[in-house]
Amino acid sequence: MEQSELLTGAAARDRVTSVTKKLPEVTLAFWIMKIAATTLGETAGDLFAQTLKLGYFLTTIVLFLMFVVTLAAQLGSRRYHPFFYWTVILSTSMAGTTMSDFMNRDASAKYLSGGATSLGWGPQGLGLGYPVGAAVLISILLVIFAVWKATGMTFQIREIVTFRGEALFWSAILVSNTLGTSMGDFLSDSSGLGYAGGALLVTGLLAVLVALMKVPVVPNVLLFWIAFVLTRPLGATAGDFLTKPVAKGGLNLGTVGSSAVLLAVLLGLMTYAQLRERRASA
C-alpha cells in the first residue's frame, strides 16, 4: 500500500473518530458550565421540592424521569451536541439534589422551607443522615468505576465513543452529583462553616487539584473525577447561599429568582458552546 493511501486511511479514521466523539473537551469553559449547571440543579431541585411543595419523593421521581428523557436524547445523538450534553448534566444535578435530600433527611420540620408544615405526596425522607448517605453513594460510585475498569474502556471522557462507555459515564455522573449534594449539604448544614464557608472550602480544594495537575505522578483522570465530584458541593453551597434566608447566612434571593438567573446564564453558555462546536466542525 502506498504512503498516500496510508495517509488517506488515517485521515478517514480521524474523521470517523471526531464524528463519534460525543463528550466535550475539558477546558476552563467546561468547568464554568459545570458549576453553573450544578448551582442551578440545587436551586431548581429545591424550587420543585420545597417552594412548590411537591416533596422530595415525588420530585425525585419526576426529575429522574427527566434525566432518562434527556439521556435518551444524548445517547441517540451521533456527535457531541452541547445542548444535549449540558441538559443531561443539569437533569442529573436536579435529580441528585432531591435524591440526596430524600436519602439523608426525614420528615421533621427542620428541613422544611419557611412557612411550610408539610411537603408533597409520599414519604419525605429515609433519614440516613449525611455520613451514612455519603458512604452508600461512595460505595455505589466505586462499584461503577470497578465495572468500568473491568471493561477495559478509557476513563478519558473525550475518548468515550461507545454506547456502553457512555452509559457507564452517565451512571457515574448521576451518582457523583448526588454524592456532591450530600457533601455540600453537610458543609452548609452540619459542619458549622455555613454556606459561604463551605463554598470557600471547596474552592480551596479545587485550587489544590489545579496545582496537582503539575505533578507528573498524579493521574489527570483521577484529578478530573475528584474535581467533578467537588464542583457539585460547590454548586450546592453556592445555591443555598443564594436562596436561604439572611438569618441562616444566605442572601434570601429565593429559588425562583435564583433559578431564573442561573438558567439564563447556563443557556447563554450553552449557546456559546454550540457556536464554537459548529465553527470547529466547519
pTM to 2 decimals? 0.82
What integer pLDDT is reported at residue 14 of this predicted model?
41
Low-confidence ranges of the chain (pLDDT < 50): 1-20, 115-116
The residue whose grid cell reads 429515609 is: 126
CA distance 69 to 184: 27
Neighbour count for residue 215 (Cβ, 10 Å): 10
The answer to whether the beta carbons of residues 154 and 73 sit under 8 Å apart is no
What integer pLDDT is reported at residue 127 of this predicted model?
85
Helices (H) and strands (E) in the chain, counts: 9, 0
What integer pLDDT is reported at residue 7 of this predicted model?
37
What integer pLDDT is reported at residue 8 of this predicted model?
40
What integer pLDDT is reported at residue 40 of this predicted model?
92
What integer pLDDT is reported at residue 206 of this predicted model?
92
As given in the structure block, the three cell numbers for residue 197 are 464557608
The set of residues, in sequence order, having a beta carbon less than 8 Å from that of 183 and lying 6+ positions away, is 130, 134, 229, 230, 232, 233, 236
Neighbour count for residue 127 (Cβ, 10 Å): 16
Decide: helix, strand or coil at residue 123. Answer: coil
Phi-psi group of 55: left, alpha or beta (phi > 0 → left; psi -120 to 50 → alpha; rest → beta): left
DSSP letters of 3-29? HHHHHHHHHHHHHHHHHH--S----HH
Q: Please name the helix (run of DSSP H) or strand (run of DSSP E) that holds residue 120, with its range, or none.
A: none
The set of residues, in sequence order, having a beta carbon less than 8 Å from that of 180 and lying 6+ positions away, is 38, 96, 229, 230, 231, 232, 233, 235, 236
Burial of 154 (C-beta count, 10 Å sphere; 0-12/13-18/19+):
middle
